[in-house]
Chain A
Amino acid sequence: MAVERINRKEIHPMENLLRMERMPHIWCPTCGIGIAVTAFTAALEKAKLDPNMVSIVSGIGCTGRVAGYVKLDSFHTTHGRPIAFATGIKVANPKMKVVVFSGDGDLMAIGGNHFIHAARRNIDMLVVCVNNFIYAMTGGQVAPTTPLAAYATTSPYGCVEPPFNIPYIADSSGAVYVARYTALHVRRLTNALTEALQKKGFSVVEVISPCGMYYSRINRLGDGLEMMKFYHDNVEIRNGEDTKNLDIGFQTKIICGKFVDRERPTYMERYNQWLSEVKPTGKNPDVSRGAQSEG
């Protein structure tokens, strides 16, 4: 048995879902995005989805690189637009399961409009939003999620803008599944992602991630391990908590859990229902008007 183990070629457990030829990835030491990707690939297996029928779309930023490492039909698109791009995929081929994997700046600032409208339409997609409270790829600028008073390179005197509460926006815009965990909560996160993948409709999972290179360095919060300890000591799991209460302040308590799990007809369900009512008539007054001259 022991001999067998030594001779066996070492294989990454997620090899069939990752583009191993692209490793090592670009993420810094202490970053939580890799953990989110591991949780996602594990969830993909647990959810028993056919990987050929799952497509992943990312925008721009550190998390925007996720699509490039996951071995699915994957698209690295423009800043803020992965949800719009994924909407096109889903509507044109409803058999696909679409996943948008991107960061807080990408999805909540430049892509905020697409986020709320996809939630309102209840497009059947999973949105994984990795929130590190900062624009990291461009060097640590203030994000729509940066807590009040936190420092960033473009908030050198402390952030003066109140941040978005992502689960609250998702909930009030119509998402059917909303959860939040940190990069420390790998098991809970994997379970949430599994549930969200199986859920029909617009599902949002926020992943709070340490950013050792920018957010915690600029704010002198220590390295990745310190951040993990902070999550360990300051996260409170409150499933079903009203999303109104999920604001995150600077180094305050972070409430995690599953907050929303409800049913609403998806865009394609409504679309097909409408189509089935319209199609049997087989004709359309405007078309026949246009065709008058044919006699």
Chain B
Amino acid sequence: MKADKTGVLTGSHILSGNEACAEGALAAGCRFLGLYPIVPSIEVSKRFLERAPQVGATFIQMEDEISALAAVIGASWTGKKSMTVTSGPGLSLMMEHLGLGVMLETPCVIVDIQMVGPGLGLPDHPAYGDMMQARWGSHGDYEIIALAPSSPQEMFDFTIKAFNFSERYRIPVAVMSDAYVAQLKETVVIPPADRINIEPRRYFQGPTDSYLPFKRDEDLVPRMVDIGQGYRFHVTGLTHDDRGYPIMFEECQEYNVHPLVRKIRCYVDKIVDTQETYIDDAEVVVISYGVAARAAGEAVAQARNTGLKAGSLKLNTVWPFPEKRVIELAKQVKAFIVPEMNFGQVVLEVERCSNGKANIFFLHHGDNGIEYPDGIIAAIKQASQTNELLSSTIELK
């Protein structure tokens, strides 16, 4: 069994989430990894490094997570699809260059295998406490794309998706997994290379003296060139004009920063990816993502067996949040159940979108370590029996 030249390990394998993530990256064409070791994400790097010589990928272990993402952004400008892998504390250090990546509009992928935080937290134990950090952690205004896989197969699929989004929209994309999914071993089916959809980098084709690194055409996403092609371009992390030269007055906010937000907001419908089950006649909808979606899926199936009108909305992309769909559902359902492996992050978005029209029951991380279907089933029962509109979110354990 050997991978083909494109790096795709076609076949059916038993892989951990971390290994599947590395395979997804290689299949997507990732050829540069900047890393700094941290548990529980290091197996992604380990797998990538083992496979690197076979596919001509390069890597470097940097001196910290700050430099790891800095190197990734630099590498991406050479035309190589690039990524870094980290966990909680490492993501905190990467916030500086997440912002730079957004400002330089550099495609790259950040894989965050989340662990219990804050501070040093509890390495190797799953949590989803970094969801809001991925969205808001760097200073200034920006939009981000974040995916939340719930199985090794999705680790493979979503990592490819992350690269595709990053190339399409010229933006760093986060894959927000956790210690559980990362270490879970399941069957991962890897299709042949020609069956995998890969978004190529969108290059500027024109004379070398006419390239403007931030010139937006009607689709709002500027084209790229590689270092060393003779364009001799300039880019800056300061607010800038089309040429990449600094513009240091208030208008830049509208001219430079607003498009960074708009280029994602205008394409929300194309980016948002959700999975709906039993939702048409549902009275209670469980909104879940990541590892909690496994328990949610099971809970909804069991609830249906007992005659409860439960449905499931699984968020494959958490950012941008599927607000349009949740606003719609809020008008039609009695309640949302939000099981999260934290003490309330994405539930805030559900509250915002449901805007008092549906009850919200929040199941937090608690002392279970991981969400189980039982708690969610109990919540579905309670939500079905609650007929009045409650004034605030009910927190269950």
Residues in A lying within 8 Å of B, measured CB to CB: 19, 22, 51-53, 55, 57, 67-68, 71-78, 81, 83-89, 91-93, 95-96, 113-114, 117, 267, 271, 275, 278-279, 282-284, 286-288, 290-294
Q: Among A76, A96, A117, which residue has its beta carbon within 8 angstroms of that of B236?
A: A76
A76 neighbours in B (Cβ, 8 Å)? 234-238, 246
Is the pair A294, B11 in contact by a Cβ cutoff of 8 Å? yes
A84-B66 CB under 8 A given contacts A73-B232, A74-B234, A293-B12: yes
A93 neighbours in B (Cβ, 8 Å)? 75, 78-80, 226-228
- What is the CB-to-nearest-CB distance from B326 to chain A, in angstroms, rounded to a whole number? 36
- What is the CB-to-nearest-CB distance from A45 to chain B, in angstroms, rounded to a whole number? 15
Residue among B71, B75, B233 facing the most chain A CB atoms (10 A cut-off): B71
Is the pair B2, A77 in contact by a Cβ cutoff of 8 Å? no
Closest B-chain residue to A281, C-beta based?
A: B53
Q: Among B54, B63, B104, which residue has its beta carbon within 8 angstroms of that of A113?
A: B63
Q: Among A55, A78, A114, which residue has its beta carbon within 8 angstroms of that of B63?
A: A114
B100 neighbours in A (Cβ, 8 Å)? 77-78
B34 neighbours in A (Cβ, 8 Å)? 88
Those 4 A-B pairs whose CB atoms lie nearest each other, nearest first:
A88-B74, A88-B71, A84-B67, A92-B75
CA distance A76 to B76 in the complex (A): 15
Is the pair B32, A91 in contact by a Cβ cutoff of 8 Å? yes
Interface residues of B in 7-45 (CB under 8 A from A): 9, 11-15, 19, 31-32, 34
Is the pair B64, A113 in contact by a Cβ cutoff of 8 Å? yes
Q: Among B1, B31, B228, B236, which residue has its beta carbon within 8 angstroms of that of A52?
A: B228
Is the pair A294, B234 in contact by a Cβ cutoff of 8 Å? no
B393 neighbours in A (Cβ, 8 Å)? none
Interface residues of B in 46-87 (CB under 8 A from A): 46-47, 50-51, 53-54, 58-60, 62-64, 66-68, 70-80, 82
A85-B74 CB under 8 A given contacts A52-B228, A95-B228, A114-B67: yes
Residues in B lying within 8 Å of A, measured CB to CB: 1-3, 9, 11-15, 19, 31-32, 34, 46-47, 50-51, 53-54, 58-60, 62-64, 66-68, 70-80, 82, 96-97, 100, 104, 187, 226-238, 245-246
Q: List 17 A-B contacts (CB under 8 A).
A: A53-B228, A75-B236, A76-B237, A76-B238, A77-B70, A84-B70, A85-B74, A89-B77, A89-B227, A91-B58, A91-B59, A92-B32, A92-B58, A93-B79, A96-B228, A288-B1, A294-B13
A71 neighbours in B (Cβ, 8 Å)? 232
CA distance A67 to B9 in the complex (A): 42
CA distance A293 to B238 in the complex (A): 51
Residue among B59, B64, B187, B236 facing the most chain A CB atoms (10 A cut-off): B236
A sample of 13 more A-B contacts (CB under 8 A), given A287-B54, A294-B1, is A52-B232, A68-B245, A73-B231, A75-B234, A76-B234, A78-B96, A81-B97, A85-B74, A88-B34, A88-B71, A88-B76, A91-B75, A286-B46
Is the pair B74, A73 in contact by a Cβ cutoff of 8 Å? no
Is the pair B234, A51 in contact by a Cβ cutoff of 8 Å? no
Is the pair B14, A67 in contact by a Cβ cutoff of 8 Å? no
- What is the CB-to-nearest-CB distance from A224 to chain B, in angstroms, rounded to a whole number? 25
Q: Which label, helix, strand, loop or mixed, suits the secondary structure of the B interface?
A: mixed
A287-B9 CB under 8 A given contacts A84-B66, A91-B75, A278-B53: yes
B230 neighbours in A (Cβ, 8 Å)? 52
CA distance A201 to B391 in the complex (A): 66
- What is the CB-to-nearest-CB distance from A278 to chain B, in angstroms, rounded to a whole number? 5
- What is the CB-to-nearest-CB distance from A252 to chain B, in angstroms, rounded to a whole number? 33
Q: Among B1, B74, B236, which residue has its beta carbon within 8 angstroms of that of A89?
A: B74
Is the pair A81, B70 in contact by a Cβ cutoff of 8 Å? yes
- What is the CB-to-nearest-CB distance from A151 to chain B, in angstroms, rounded to a whole number? 29
Residue among A55, A81, A292 facing the most chain B CB atoms (10 A cut-off): A81
Q: Among B19, B82, B237, B246, which residue has its beta carbon within 8 angstroms of that of A88?
A: B82
B96 neighbours in A (Cβ, 8 Å)? 78, 81
Is the pair A52, B229 in contact by a Cβ cutoff of 8 Å? yes
Q: Among A52, A88, A284, which residue has its beta carbon within 8 angstroms of that of B54?
A: A284
Is the pair B228, A81 in contact by a Cβ cutoff of 8 Å? no
Is the pair A85, B232 in contact by a Cβ cutoff of 8 Å? no
Q: Among B2, B68, B74, which residue has its beta carbon within 8 angstroms of that of A75?
A: B74
Closest A-chain residue to B15, C-beta based?
A: A290
A117 neighbours in B (Cβ, 8 Å)? 62-63, 67
